[in-house]
Amino acid sequence: MKLKAALPLILFFALAVLFYFMLGKINQGEYNPRDIPTEFIGRSAPEFSLPDLLKPEQSVRPSDFKGKPWLFNVWGTWCPECWREHEFLVLLHKQGVPIVGLNWRDEAPEAKKMLARLGNPFVAIGFDPTSDVAIDWGVYGAPETFLIDAEGIIRVKHKGAMTPQIWQEQFQSYFNLEAKP
C-alpha cells in the first residue's frame, strides 16, 4: 500500500533525473538541438558587399580578408547569447584574432550603443537589417560563427555563443597566436 502511494513520487524523481541528464548533454554531440548540418563547410565564403555599421561610407566584403584565417560572427543586440559571448570576442580580438561581424536584423543606433558600452571586437561590421546576407550564408539564428581560412574557404560553423571551450576545440588550431598580456 505504501509503495503504491509513493509510486508517483518515484516516477517524478526518475523523470527529474532524466531531464537533468538531458539538459546537461543538450549542447554536446548528438543532443545539441542547434547542431544543424551546413552545406557551406568546404565551400568558398559567399561574397557580399554591405555598408560598415560604424563607417557606412565603407563596404565590408569577405574577399577583403583573404590571406589569413578570420572569423565571421553573426550577432544582434536583440540576442541574449550575443551579449554573453561579447566579452570573449573582445578577448579574442585583443589576442589578434580578426573577427568580421554581421550585425543582423538590428537597429544601428542600438548596435553602436552596445559596442560603445562593451567594446568593439570586430575589424569590420557588415550591417544587414533585412537579412539579405544572413540568408545567403544559411544563418539560422544568432549568434553563429564561421571560420574562413586564408583561401576564403569555410572550415567551421558554430551555432550558439562562442566560449573558451568551443574556441579551443574547434577554432584555435587555425590561428597562430602569440600570448599577449
In Å, what is the CA distance from 119 to each residue of 51, 52, 97, 115, 167?
20, 16, 15, 5, 20
Which of 181, 142, 176, 148 lies closest to 162, judged by CA? 142
Do 100 and 123 form a contact (C-beta atoms < 8 A)?
yes
pLDDT of residue 180: 47
Find cell 537589417 and name the residue: 129
162: three-class secondary structure by DSSP: coil
Q: Which three cell numbers stand for residue 152?
A: 576564403
Q: Which three cell numbers stand for residue 95?
A: 589576442
CB atoms under 10 Å from CB of 108, counted, come to 14
Q: What is the pLDDT along the chain (181 residues), one digit of tens a residue?
A: 677 888 888 888 888 988 887 777 665 655 666 666 678 899 999 999 999 999 999 999 999 999 999 999 999 999 999 999 999 999 999 999 999 999 999 999 999 999 999 999 999 999 999 999 999 999 988 999 999 999 999 999 999 999 999 999 999 999 976 544 4
Q: Which three cell numbers stand for residue 129?
A: 537589417
Which of 161, 165, 167 lies closest to 79, judged by CA? 161
Cα(73)–Cα(93) distance, rounded to whole angstroms?
12
Strands 70-75 and 59-60: unpaired
pLDDT of residue 75: 97
Do 77 and 109 form a contact (C-beta atoms < 8 A)?
no
Beta-bridge mates of residue 153: 44
Please state the pTM of the whole predicted model.
0.80
Find cell 565564403 and name the residue: 45
pLDDT of residue 33: 61
